[in-house]
Structure 1
Amino acid sequence: MTVPEGASEGVSGAVTGTATGADGPIRVLIADDQPLVRRGLALILGPEPSVTVVAEAENGEQALTLAAEHRPDVVVMDIRMPVLDGVAATERLARDLPGCRVLALSTFDMDEYVVAALRAGACGFLPKDSSPEELVAAIRTVRAGEAVVAPRLLTRLISAYVRTRPAAAGGRPDAACRAAADLTPREAEVWRLLATGLDNNEIARTLEISVSTVKNYITSIFDKLGVRDRAQAVIAAYESGLVQVRRPATDT
């Protein structure tokens, strides 16, 4: 994962940073079916001068309506909601309002719906037990165009759910294999290292190349795979079979 300049990795895996919206405060829409959670998130974000909460939604359908009305920069989206869940709402937002970035939330950090949300177009994921500081930092990072899921947490999620649920992939493994055929050997190696949890600096050290060269390779990989961010690139790597799930050893 590329960490923005001046950023560090938070204790729960979220990337923290100091970037704010280029044109004033980051406009945020909160979508959660629990009133106390919505109010709590709004209270956390209220004192933060770099963030403005523009609306609150109690389900995915309402989130879509309010997003079209208010055009937020970031939607903090609960995964599991009535009427229209967070995964379906994320997919429609990514299609209809691509400039609106989704930060998915879930009660559990090993939730199969998290991978579905990332595949649908969410730019990041935070468990609901993250700290207020991590939430604010994640919103800033997502707004800046970076993924907010730490590489090792993302790899663990995908290891647990992508390859063990082939029916949920919707034909994506074959598409990922076809796209991978267009990669050069060096791009394929960068993709593999990215998918195993290495950040740009670690990839650069492993391949003995510059970080800027790694970034150029990753841009080309995203373009050839037809993915929008690091999260989707990792998912595609598992779906294509480039990276295999490591099953834990069992005691005998």
Structure 2
Amino acid sequence: MNQIEVNQSNNCSFNLPKATVLLIKRDPFQRLGLCKILSQQNSLTIHDCADSFTGLRLAQRYQPDVIILDLEFLVASDFELNEQLKEQSSQSKLIVCGQQLERETVLKVYSISAGYYLEDGDISKLLLAIANTYEGSIYVHPKTSKLLSTNLLLPVSSSRLDSLAPKELDALKHLIAGKDYQEIGQSMCISSHTVRNYISGIVKKLGLKNRTQAVVVAVCGGLLAEAQ
């Protein structure tokens, strides 16, 4: 099978980049099926495993460009697994794949700057997700776009940010600049665990549900200009 050229709805097309992909997925039949399809793309180098422990080791060993992670693993770790993967392979970009379309789950996935491939059997969407993720964009599956836009369009007031402590504001500025917890911690000379506590406190003080909403509030409140 030759390399697939994926056609998008706007009649543009793209070729898959030359990339290393790590697939961490539990179901052996589905995992091996995906591996077979992805391995047939000439530009992709595929590694795979069926558990998160092995996935962390492979991430450290191969430093993949893109990691495709089973949603079940991420949820089971209370979303800590993405931080662990970042520690092992800081440059890897993450795609989460799963069947669920629950609002909170999807929002949490995007809040960790991961793409979300809804497993609907359309392999072209997965290839599109890989290409977009490799280029630095967050892949938004068509079925999740309305859910995200509804959640992110919040009526906000910059005065809500006045309740935050100076260090919380500093952490928030780093967050909207695109830094992960480890990078924020290095910039502020604190641990990534402390950063996580700051962000959790921010979400609670602002009466929000997740850090995605906190970023929206910060941007609408003018913090983006200060962060740049």
* TM class by smaller structure: 0.5 to 0.7
Q: Does 1:43 align with 2:36?
A: yes
Q: 1:226 aligns with which of 177, 182, 187?
A: 177
Q: 1:69 aligns with which of 61, 66, 73?
A: 61
Mind listing any 5+ residue stretches in structure 1 that lack a counterpart? 1-5, 11-15, 164-172, 183-222, 244-252
Mind listing any 5+ residue stretches in structure 2 that lack a counterpart? 1-5, 155-162, 181-209, 222-228
CA distance in 2: counterparts of 1:147 and 1:59, whole angstroms: 24
Contact 2:74 2:82 in 1 (8 A): no
- SS in structure 1 opposite 2:45? strand
Indicate the structure whose relative CO is greater, using CA pairs within 8 Å and at least 6 residues apart.
1
Residues 235 and 61 of structure 1, relative CA distance in 2, 3 Å threshold: farther
CA distance in 2: counterparts of 1:28 and 1:103, whole angstroms: 10
CA distance in 2: counterparts of 1:127 and 1:152, whole angstroms: 8
Displacement of 1:143 after TM fit? 0.6
Q: 2:89 aligns with which of 78, 92, 97?
A: 97
Identify the residue that residue 116 of structure 1 maps to in structure 2: 108
Contact 2:176 2:215 in 1 (8 A): no
- SS in structure 2 opposite 1:27? strand
Identify the residue that residue 23 of structure 2 maps to in structure 1: 30
Identity among equivalent positions (%) equals: 21
CA distance in 1: counterparts of 2:171 and 2:179, whole angstroms: 15
- SS in structure 2 opposite 1:30? strand
Identify the residue that residue 139 of structure 2 maps to in structure 1: 148
What is the TM-score normalised by the length of structure 2?
Answer: 0.60
Q: Deviations over 1:124-150 (max 9, x none)?
A: 111011511111121011111111115
CA distance in 2: counterparts of 1:150 and 1:134, whole angstroms: 8
What is the TM-score normalised by the length of structure 1?
Answer: 0.55
Q: What is the aligned length? A: 176
- What is the CA RMSD across the aligned residues, in angstroms? 4.2
CA distance in 2: counterparts of 1:121 and 1:241, whole angstroms: 16
Runs (4+) of structure 1 moved beyond 6 Å? Answer: 179-182
